[in-house]
Amino acid sequence: MSDRLFGCALRLLAGCYAGLVALPLLALLLHATPATLAAALRSPVVWQAVGLSLLTATAATLLVVAGALPLAWLLTRQVTRWRGLLTTLLELPAALPPAVAGLGLLLAFGRYQLLGPWLTRCGLPPVALTPAAVVLAQMLVAGPLFLRAARAALEAVPPRVLQASAVLGAGEATTFRRIVLPLARPGLLGGALVTWARALGELGATLLFAGNLPGWTQTMPSAIFVTWQVDRTAAVSLSVLLLLLSAGALLLARRCAGEVL
Amino acid sequence: MTGRRLVVTGSLAVLAGCARPELPAPAAVAPVTLQVFAAASLREVVPALSAAYSQAEPGVTLLANYAGSQDLVAQVQAGASADVFLSANRDHPQKLADAGLVAPPVVFALNQVAIAATPRNQRVRSYRDLLQPGTRLVICAEEVPAGKYAGQWLAKLPSAEAATLRERVVSAEASVDGVLHKVRLGEADAGLAYRTDVRRGGLRDVPLPPGTAISASYAASTVTAAPHAAEAAAFLTWLRGPAAGQVLRDAGFELPAP
C-alpha cells in the first residue's frame, strides 16, 4: 500500500514538473504556423539576427574551448588547496544574473573604465556596443558550462593510462594529444555543444554590454526582446527558430556523450 | 515576490491575530497603494509627484513600475495589476483604450527631444559634431516612444545628414534608461533622449538645429481593471491640477494648454 502510494506520488510530482517544462514550449510551437514562420524567414531583420547569433555563438564557443580546455587540464592535474575556491570563482558567472555579468563587462572593458583607457592607448577601437562585445558576453555567461564538462571529461581519463604513457616514454604534450584528448573527446564535444546553445540564448549581458542594433549587435534573443510587444508573430517565429537550433545542439550533445536519443 | 510577501504578511497577521485576540479592528480608511506604471523617462519626476501627492492625500501611496512604454502596454495587456498608466506618448495608451483596457488617455505633460552628450569626453559639443566619422550615437529602438520621436526628428533633418546620423548609431536601446546609461558611462558620445533627462545630473545638453524641435506628450489613463479605481481617478484629477503642474515644471516638463 505504502509502495503504491509512493509510486503514485512519484508519478504525480514528475508529471507536474514535466508539464511545467513542456507547456511553454508547446505554447510557442502552437502559436507559430508554417505561414508565419515562412513570413518571418523572409524578413531581413530576422536573417540578420539569425546570422549574427550563429556567428557570435560559434566564435564564443571556439574561444571558450581555446581557453577553458587548458584551464580544465591544469585544474585536473594540479591539486592545490585553492582548487575548490578557484573553480567556484570560474563557475560563478553562470550563476549570476546575466545583467550583472553585463555590468561587470562594461565596468571592465568600457572606454573609460578599468581596461578601456589602456586598450585605447594601444590604438584599439572601443569594445562595448560592438559584435566583439556580444562574443565576450556569451563567453562569460556560457563558458562555465564548458569548463565543468571539460573537467568531468578530463577527470574521467584513468590515471593508470597516463602513467603507462609516461612509462613508455611519451612526454606531457604527446600524452595530452594522443591519449587524453581522444579519450575525453565525447565529453568535450558534448560540453562545447551545450555551451554553444547557451551562448545562442544569451540576452541580459548582451543588451547591457553590446547594445542592440540590427545587423551589428542584434542577436536572436535581443530581436525577440525588442520586437515582442509590437510584433508578436515575428517574435514567436524567432523563438521557435531559436528553440529548434538549441534542441538540435542539445540532442547532438547527448549523442556525442554516447547517450541514447 | 509581492505575492510571497503578501502571503508572509498575511500569515504573520493571522499568527498575530491568534496570539492577541483583543487586537483592535483596522481603522475605517485603510491605506491604499496605487500601482503606477510609468514610462522610463518619468523615473525622476514620479517620486517627486508621489511626495507631493502624499501631502494632498495622506492615505494613498504610489508604487511605481518603470519600463519602456511599449513594455508597460504589454504588461497591461497581459493583465498585470495596475491602477494608473503614464505613457511617454499618446498612441500606446490609445491602443489600450481602443481595446477597453484603460480609460481614454489625457495628456498631462510635455517634453522635448534633446541630444545628451557624455561628460566623459568633449567629442560632441554641437549638432555638427554628431556627423563626424567615429562619433558613437545611441538612440531608442523604434518600438519605444523615444525611438519614434527620434525618427520624427531625423525626418526633419536634411536627408543626407539623417542618413549619416543613422550610420553613427551604435545601439538602438529598449528604453531611455538604456540610452542614458550608455551615454553616462561614455560608451556612446551622445544619445537622443528628452530634455528632462539632459537637465538632470552630469549630461551635457547639445542644442538641436533650428526648426527641428520635437514635442513629446505624456498621457495618463486609469486602468479599467484597476484594484483601486476611485483612488486612481482622484490621482489623475490631481495630476492635471496646479500642485502637480508645479512639480512637473520644476522637473523640466511643460504643461499642456488647459
CATH number of the domain bearing residue B58: 3.40.190.10
Contacts (Cβ under 8 Å, ≥6 apart) of A208: A99, A102, A103, A105, A106, A137
**For position A261, what pLDDT does the model report?**
54
Residues of B with CB under 8 A from a CB of A: 70-71, 73-74, 120, 136, 138, 141, 143, 169-174, 178, 182, 185-188
Domain that holds residue B37: 31-110+217-250
Residues B167 and B246 in one domain: no
Note whether residue B15 is domain-resident. no
Q: In this structure, are B206 and B121 located in the same domain? A: yes
Low-confidence ranges of chain B (pLDDT < 50): 1-28
**Domain match, B46 and B174 both:** no
Is A58 at the interface with chain B, CB within 8 A? Answer: no
**Phi, then psi, of B61 in degrees rounded to 5:** -110, 145
Q: Do A212 and B185 touch (CB under 8 A)?
A: no
Report how far residue B19's alpha carbon sits from residue B27's, in angstroms, rounded to the nearest whole number: 20
Assess whether B104 and B117 both reside in one domain: no
Cβ burial, residue A15 (10 Å; 0-12/13-18/19+): exposed
Q: Same domain, yes or no, for B206 and B222? A: no
3-state secondary structure of B85: strand
CB contacts of A228 in chain B (<8 Å) are: 74
* Spans of chain A, pLDDT less than 50: none
Residues B50 and B132 in one domain: no
Q: Do A106 and B187 touch (CB under 8 A)?
A: yes
Do B78 and B146 lie in a common domain?
A: no
Q: What is the pLDDT of residue A64?
A: 98
Q: B232 and B185 share a domain?
A: no
B19 within some domain: no
For the question of an ipTM over 0.85, the answer is no
Of B120, B143, B173, nearest to A211 by CB-CB distance is: B173
B166 lies in some domain: yes
What phi, psi does B144 have (nearest 5°)? -90, 145
**Which residue of chain B has the CA closest to A230?**
B143
> Does an H or E element contain A136, and which?
helix A131-155
Q: What is the pLDDT of residue B26?
A: 45
Percent over 90 (pLDDT), chain A: 72
For the stretch A165-216, pLDDT in tens is 989 998 889 999 999 999 999 999 999 999 999 999 999 999 999 999 999 9
% chain A with pLDDT above 70: 98
| Local structure of B108: helix, strand or coil | strand
Looking at the fold, whether B236 and B164 belong to one and the same domain comes out as no
- Joined grid coordinates for residue B196: 528632462
CA distances from A82 to A73, A94, A140, B19 (A): 15, 20, 21, 51
B74: helix, strand or coil: helix
Structurally, chain B folds into a number of domains equal to 2
pLDDT digits (tens, 9 = 90+) for A209-237: 999 999 999 999 999 998 887 778 888 99
3-state secondary structure of B181: helix
Mutate to test the interface with A, among B170, B175, B182, B192 (most CBs of A within 10 A): B170
Architecture of the domain made up of A44-256: Orthogonal Bundle (1.10)
Q: Do B96 and B176 share a domain, yes or no?
A: no
Same domain membership, residue B207 and residue B129: yes
- Sketch the domain layout of chain A as residue ranges: 1-31, 44-256
